Amino acid sequence: SAVISQKPSRDICQRGTSLTIQCQVDSQVTMMFWYRQQPGQSLTLIATANQGSEATYESGFVIDKFPISRPNLTFSTLTVSNMSPEDSSIYLCSVLGQGNTEAFFGQGTRLTVV
Amino acid sequence: DQQVKQNSPSLSVQEGRISILNCDYTNSMFDYFLWYKKYPAEGPTFLISISSIKDKNEDGRFTVFLNKSAKHLSLHIVPSQPGDSAVYFCAASADYGGSQGNLIFGKGTKLSVKP
């Protein structure tokens, strides 16, 4: 299994500001995934971050709104830019386990935008 | 359009009895299915999975059944324990572990096991 440290665990932010969420993994991984869980909704993939290349964004998500960094094989950041109350969600980073048979998640960042 | 559906937002079960959580999917390309458990203020943790080539997978108190013709899977927990109280997410993937690694999640079912 992989141990994923994600921070901050929660934050309350003013609209129009940006928040950067960090994700640290205890082992080297090729792909890291960022998910969002809006209230009452399922987890939705935002983007896939590969080291050394630009992140791949899912439909409905754009780099200007959710810039991602992946400086090395154990670390990634997701920034939520120019926040609005609609961005209030839980954001989770995830990696695939050995053998790519299941995904492991960080504890999540609960973001509230006021 | 939701590809993975968990139609029961909540389920309440007595301790010691069986909990059955259901999940339906629409995409026939899904070939791998997973169940995750999530406690408040924690990320989802992997529970059990099943490949589309199987119809049953068992791990201790947890068993997942897959009915491909009905595009339906279920998670059975027996006997249920109060510590099982959590939100359970069903997830599915096509070409899991390949270039995508994308999991499609249901909205979750909140299980409450009463002592």
Per-residue pLDDT reduced to its tens digit, A48-100: 998 888 899 999 999 999 999 999 999 999 999 999 999 999 999 999 876 66
**Alpha carbons B25 and A36: distance in angstroms, whole number:** 20
Interface test with B, best of A5, A42, A44, A89 (most B CBs within 10 A): A42
3-state percent breakdown (helix, strand, coil) of chain A, nearest 5: 5, 50, 45
B43–A45 C-beta distance less than 8 A? no
Name the E strands within A4-98: 4-7, 10-13, 19-25, 31-37, 43-50, 56-57, 68-72, 75-80, 89-96
A42–B106 C-beta distance less than 8 A? yes
How close is the nearest chain B Cα to the Cα of A83, in Å? 22
- In chain A, % of residues over pLDDT 70: 96
How close is the nearest chain A Cα to the Cα of B41, in Å? 7
Amino acid, res. B51: S
Residue B103 pLDDT exceeds 90: no
A104–B107 C-beta distance less than 8 A? no
Whether the CB of A33 is below 8 Å from some CB of chain B: the reply is: yes
At residue A39, the pLDDT reads 85
At residue A101, the pLDDT reads 66
Mean pLDDT, all residues of chain B = 91
Whether the CB of B12 is below 8 Å from some CB of chain A: the reply is: no
Higher-confidence position of B21 and A100: B21
Mean pLDDT, all residues of chain A = 91
At residue B96, the pLDDT reads 61
User: What does the block give as tokens for B48?
Assistant: 């059990």
User: What would you report as the CA-atom Rg of chain A, rounded to the nearest whole angstrom?
Assistant: 13
- Give CA torsion, residues B45, B3, B109, B102, to 10 deg: 10
Which residue carries 């010691």 as its tokens?
B16
For chain A, the farthest-separated pair of C-alpha atoms sits apart, in whole angstroms, at 41
Residue A6 pLDDT exceeds 60: yes
| C-alpha dihedral sign at A64, A111, B93, B8 | negative
A113 within 8 A of A55, measured Cβ to Cβ: no
Binding-face residues of B in 35-94 toward A, CB within 8 A: 36, 41-46, 49, 89, 91
At residue B99, the pLDDT reads 44
Q: How far is CA A74 from the centre of its chain?
A: 14
Residue B5 pLDDT exceeds 80: yes
**Alpha carbons B18 and B91: distance in angstroms, whole number:** 21
> Residue A41's pLDDT band (boundaries 50, 70, 90)?
confident
B6 within 8 A of B35, measured Cβ to Cβ: no
- Residues on chain A touching B34 (C-beta within 8 angstroms): 102-103
Task: For residue B53, give the nearest of B34, B66, B62 by alpha carbon.
Answer: B66
What would the pLDDT profile of B40-96 be if each residue is shown by its tens digit? 878 889 899 999 999 999 999 999 999 999 999 999 999 999 999 999 999 998 866
- Residues on chain B touching A3 (C-beta within 8 angstroms): none
Residue B1 pLDDT exceeds 80: no
B25 within 8 A of B32, measured Cβ to Cβ: no
How close is the nearest chain B Cα to the Cα of A100, in Å? 5
Q: What integer is the mean pLDDT of B22-50?
A: 91
